[in-house]
Structure 1
Amino acid sequence: MYEKPYRSILKSISWRVTGTIDTTLISYLITGSIETAASIGIIEIFTKMLLYFLHERLWNKINIGKKSEPEYHI
């Protein structure tokens, strides 16, 4: 099984939207400052998208748990 790089990019973006909302909310609850929370959220969007993309591409090269053809059980 092979995943094209653009699939990893789309997954990175969708996960980061979810993660950034979570990080921003937690940052706001801890700091009480919407400005600080937004700053933290904006910075982590870019750093974590890059890390996730690299993580996905690395795991795409690892064959643990992959099969070239599906098994059919009747």
Structure 2
Amino acid sequence: MSSAVEKTVEALELLPEDMQEQAATYLLEQAKKYHALKQAIDEGMADVEAGRVVPWDLEEFLKQARAIPRG
């Protein structure tokens, strides 16, 4: 077992029993969010490296947005 896992288990065991489940659930949710963010960044960087990304022109975007007829 890794040092980080051992420390996590130790920390959870120090909590009152009625708090352990909630703390473990929170930690798991944060880890999943981190993993999803890392995947999104990796995908974005792959797009940049493959040349599938173009610079975004804010002025052009605003000009086009303002030109859209409003109903």
Q: TM-score, normalised by structure 2?
A: 0.40
Whose Rg is larger? 2
Q: Which has the higher contact order (CA 8 A, sep 6+)?
A: 1
